Amino acid sequence: MKILIALEDLRIGGAQTFALRLAQALRIAGHEVHLYSHYAHLLNKELVRQLAPDVPVISHGDYSARWEWVLRKADGLCRRLGINSSLHERSVVNHLQELIRRLRPDVVNSHTIKADYAAALALKGTTIPLVITMHGCYELFLHKANARIVVDKGVYALKHAKAIVYLTSKNLEIFQQVGIRPLETILNRKIYNGFDGQVTKGLQHTRSALGIPFDAKVFGMVARGIPEKGWAHAVNSFLGLESAYPELHLVLVGESDFLMKLKAMHPHPRLHFTGFASNPIDWIDTFDVGLLPSYFHGESLPNSIAEYLSCGKPVIASRIGEVPAMLTSTEGLAGVLLEQANWRLTDPNQLTEAMHAYIIQPELLAEHKHRASLAFEKFRMKYCLIAYEELFQSAIQSRIA
């Protein structure tokens, strides 16, 4: 198959990370795959090199970075003046139309609302099927009072999609809205994001690199650098335990202005902010336990949890999205679930107590490590790849029929 995978950008994020991994897996399986990004300047080259080294990337703005800059600045000025402008978006659609005419893909797979919308417009008048992968952004925008225009774009995209992939039933909240196309009229399938990661050869991300003894107790967290992922809760729980347990360390893997401020607020020799990591499992492999005390409304199927499990690490995470099912194994839960509601953790002390339990109960840690390896099985890329290939073929066949 010829497959075009479209995204709004290729920065750090769950949707972007998975799309890159999927593109590489499809390429290795023998398909002709291209990646498309709306913004040439929002492309993390190291991330692309790490996750999809064999897949060509085409971005709007490749032909003229200055022209893209002008369009973005013009849109920004119009917004400040109260004028609804979409100059950059229209240029993206035109560019994408030209690319589709040139590549003639069998199917287009888009990720996130604005990419879905642009792809739907670009495919207008063609018989090429659009397959949308829903990562949680639809329900996120539904709960933002000032995001109606984005939701409307999503509604348009869903109206013209041939198929959708969802990660959790939470993603389908949009279909409960009045005027939305009924879900049963669209090919749809629940497919977990696949992951087959490997520790980087010649690894420099080690405990010794951070000055952490080999027998220390290390908790760690990998996520996008936004407050809603629960970074401050992780730090607070560490600070609540560290004086009683001098062997305790906390490693935080992520990059943002928020994390820089958090680091400045809490200088501590056993609190380690690593910054960006193109291959997070390099750090995760040094953890004893992975954390994700998230209260992010768009949380669906967090990549970091699959990454923790792939390294055999138990997880302390919020009961949100598909997380409970992610931690389920044939022998029980591979970690601890934290309660959350109304954009906050219900009781932050639950995180501290869960961390404390792993510190003082080595047998519990050992058992949950065993369960983590079992829980990871459902996230192997081979299962995800087969499911996507089957859905793409079904979408193509329905077009022909």
Question: Do 121 and 264 fall within a single domain?
Answer: no
Higher per-residue confidence, 300 vs 139 = 300
Question: Do 141 and 258 fall within a single domain?
Answer: no
The highest-confidence range among 7-21, 148-162, 205-219, 236-250, by mean pLDDT, is 236-250
Question: Do 375 and 387 fall within a single domain?
Answer: no
Instruction: Judge whether residue 105 has pLDDT over 60.
Output: yes
Question: Do 127 and 245 fall within a single domain?
Answer: no
Instruction: Judge whether residue 203 has pLDDT over 90.
Output: no
**Which helix (H) or strand (E) covers residue 336, if one does?**
strand 335-338
Contact present, 322 and 207 (Cβ < 8 Å): no
Instruction: Judge whether residue 201 has pLDDT over 70.
Output: no
Question: Do 255 and 372 fall within a single domain?
Answer: yes
Determine what percent of the chain is predicted with pLDDT higher than 90.
Answer: 71
**Could you tell me the two tokens for 83?**
């004028």
Q: How many domains does the chain have?
A: 2
Instruction: Judge whether residue 173 has pLDDT over 90.
Output: no
Domain-located, residue 137: yes
Question: Do 360 and 262 fall within a single domain?
Answer: yes
Question: Do 253 and 145 fall within a single domain?
Answer: no
- What's the mean per-residue pLDDT of the chain? 91
Note down the domain range covering 217: 208-379
pLDDT of residue 148: 65
Domain-located, residue 202: no
- For 256, phi then psi, to 5°, come to -175, 165
Instruction: Judge whether residue 240 has pLDDT over 70.
Output: yes
The highest-confidence range among 9-23, 84-98, 232-246, 271-285, by mean pLDDT, is 232-246
Domain-located, residue 53: yes
Instruction: Judge whether residue 372 has pLDDT over 60.
Output: yes
Domain-located, residue 224: yes
Three-state SS for 353? helix
Question: Do 224 and 346 fall within a single domain?
Answer: yes
Question: Do 161 and 310 fall within a single domain?
Answer: no
Instruction: Judge whether residue 332 has pLDDT over 90.
Output: yes
Question: Do 315 and 390 fall within a single domain?
Answer: no
**pLDDT bracket for residue 259 (50, 70, 90):** very high
Instruction: Judge whether residue 306 has pLDDT over 90.
Output: yes
Instruction: Judge whether residue 146 has pLDDT over 60.
Output: no
Q: Give the residue-averaged pLDDT of 97-116.
A: 96
Measured distance CA(401)–CA(27) in Å, rounded:
27
Cα 250 to Cα 165, 238, 270, 299, 309: the distances in Å are 35, 7, 6, 23, 18
Question: Do 240 and 187 fall within a single domain?
Answer: no
Instruction: Judge whether residue 382 has pLDDT over 70.
Output: yes
CATH of the domain at 333: 3.40.50.2000
pLDDT of residue 147: 59
pLDDT of residue 136: 85
**Could you tell me the two tokens for 42?**
């929002």
Domain-located, residue 200: no
Higher per-residue confidence, 75 vs 337 = 337
The rounded Cα 31 to chain-centroid distance in angstroms is: 23
Q: Give the residue-averaged pLDDT of 239-244.
A: 97
The model carries a pTM of 0.86
Three-state SS for 159? helix
Question: Do 153 and 248 fall within a single domain?
Answer: no
